[in-house]
């Protein structure tokens, strides 16, 4: 029998990580939307205290990210992600057994450790270590699969909560991490599959590549990327928390506003398909710039067209957000190379995780002051991200 072709082996790894990422996102990031209310009611807490505990999990994930990325650089994704499956299982089990606010917060903090070492950044680092040459397409592949995490996770969580209670739902998710996630992570290759090619000698008069640039320049590029990622994650999380209310404030009925907001998910998948197809041969900086400006354009169309411009806004915002999810993994790889990718990714994304943690509260305050006009704030932030990426494109060597 002929050995499997490398592309087929990579496709299996993409399917494996796409499946475990779907499980991880569905049982962490998308959990509070359905469990916060019943959890708060049984524990005798205000709902906002549950979301505060979830914010704690996001802060913990930001603190854990650099160390988790460094561990993947050293030991590979197979080791780290298997440990992460156990962390998710332990955190979810503890959440299901919590009897008071302190126990609930401690459980969310443990889940935050799993999030910092087991969501997209860790999966991207695992792929880059395995495939330093062809990781871009693999990163796109897992985001295409895991883009349906809310589509799969919310109905399952709702079903289990209805039949087993919120504690039972946590228990089922914990069991899935042990029975599905842990074995799948154990099937990841132990060693890198590809070897990064040695850099070719530079012709006379040509600039050094980005990976050989001066440390000061590389630090500047890293600061730009971390600010861009923090901006885009702030906007993404703010819209996830407040979009139906924003649209209702512009005159759409509650049912129509929810329908428009639900368009964001399919639009994200459409954006990732665009990245996988038309943009796959373009530099990730081009994709990132197009994606960064999509939200401000959508805001402008929404304000010009009125309530029914919400469909255009949701489509543009979703497509841009879908592409930016990929760019968070591929852009640092293109700018800095594969060496030390995991640790660098952890540091680059730490500000983004912190901005994600405070986005619902800060944007909620902006809405309380300005109503739907608060969208101009995220539009301005999107334009700032575009300007920073444009400046970065001019600074990078050809």
Asked if 261 and 321 touch (Cβ cutoff 8 Å), the reply is no
- pLDDT tier at 376, thresholds 50, 70, 90: very high
Tens of pLDDT, residues 230-273: 999 899 888 877 777 777 777 776 677 667 777 777 888 888 88
Tens of pLDDT, residues 147-158: 778 778 888 988
Query: Are residue 117 and residue 149 in the same domain, yes or no?
Result: yes
Query: Are residue 350 and residue 384 in the same domain, yes or no?
Result: yes
Query: Are residue 221 and residue 337 in the same domain, yes or no?
Result: yes
- pLDDT tier at 45, thresholds 50, 70, 90: very high
Tens of pLDDT, residues 116-126: 999 988 998 99
Which one has a higher pLDDT value, 244 or 319? 319
| Range in 58-72, 210-224, 356-370 with the lowest mean pLDDT | 210-224
Average pLDDT over residues 366-371: 85
Q: Long-range pairs for 296-305 at CB < 8 Å and ≥24 separation?
A: 296/379, 296/380, 296/382, 296/383, 296/386, 299/375, 299/376, 299/378, 299/379, 299/382, 300/379, 302/250, 302/375, 303/375
Average pLDDT over residues 292-296: 92
For the chain, give the mean pLDDT.
84
Query: Are residue 110 and residue 155 in the same domain, yes or no?
Result: yes
* Position 205 pLDDT exceeds 70: no
Gap between the Cα atoms of 118 and 131, Å rounded: 18
Say what the pLDDT of residue 2 is: 41
Query: Are residue 237 and residue 293 in the same domain, yes or no?
Result: yes
Query: Are residue 155 and residue 289 in the same domain, yes or no?
Result: no
* Position 7 pLDDT exceeds 60: no
Q: Is residue 285 part of a domain?
A: yes
Q: What is the pTM of this model?
A: 0.81
CATH code assigned at 216: 1.20.1250.20
**Parent domain of 155:** 6-186
């Amino acid at each position: 029998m002929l050995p499997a072709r490398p592309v087929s082996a990579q496709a299996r790894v993409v399917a494996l990580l796409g499946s475990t990422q779907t499980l991880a996102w569905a049982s962490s990031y998308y959990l509070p939307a359905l469990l916060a209310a019943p959890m708060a009611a049984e524990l005798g807490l205000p709902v906002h205290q549950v979301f505060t505990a979830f914010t704690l999990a996001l802060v913990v994930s930001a603190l854990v990210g650099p160390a988790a990325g460094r561990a993947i650089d050293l030991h590979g994704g197979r080791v780290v992600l298997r440990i992460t499956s156990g962390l998710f299982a332990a955190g979810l089990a503890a959440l299901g057994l919590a009897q008071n606010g302190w126990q609930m917060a401690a459980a969310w903090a443990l889940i935050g450790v799993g999030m910092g070492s087991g969501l997209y950044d860790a999966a991207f680092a695992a792929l880059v270590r395995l495939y330093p040459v062809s990781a871009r397409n693999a990163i796109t592949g897992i985001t295409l699969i895991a883009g349906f995490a809310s589509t799969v996770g919310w109905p399952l969580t709702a079903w289990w909560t209805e039949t087993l209670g919120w504690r039972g739902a946590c228990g089922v998710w914990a069991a899935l991490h042990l029975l599905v996630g842990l074995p799948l992570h154990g099937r990841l290759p132990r060693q890198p599959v590809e070897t990064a090619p040695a850099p070719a000698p530079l012709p006379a008069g040509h600039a050094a590549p980005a990976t050989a640039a001066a440390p000061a320049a590389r630090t500047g590029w890293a600061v730009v990327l971390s600010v861009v990622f923090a901006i885009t994650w702030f906007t993404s999380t703010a819209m996830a928390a407040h979009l139906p209310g924003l649209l209702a404030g512009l005159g759409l009925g509650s049912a129509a506003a929810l329908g428009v907001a639900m368009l964001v998910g399919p639009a994200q998948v459409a954006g990732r398909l665009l990245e996988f197809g038309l943009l796959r041969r373009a530099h990730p900086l081009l994709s990132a710039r197009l994606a960064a400006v999509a939200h401000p354009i959508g805001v402008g169309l929404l304000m010009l067209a009125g309530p029914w411009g919400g469909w255009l806004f949701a489509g543009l915002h979703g497509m841009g957000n879908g592409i930016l999810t990929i760019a968070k993994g591929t852009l640092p790889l293109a700018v800095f190379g594969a060496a030390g990718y995991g640790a660098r990714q952890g540091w680059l994304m730490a500000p983004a995780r912190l901005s994600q943690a405070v986005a619902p509260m800060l944007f909620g305050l902006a809405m309380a002051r300005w109503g739907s006009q608060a969208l101009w704030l995220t539009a301005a932030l999107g334009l700032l991200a575009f300007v920073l990426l444009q400046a970065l494109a001019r600074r990078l060597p050809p």
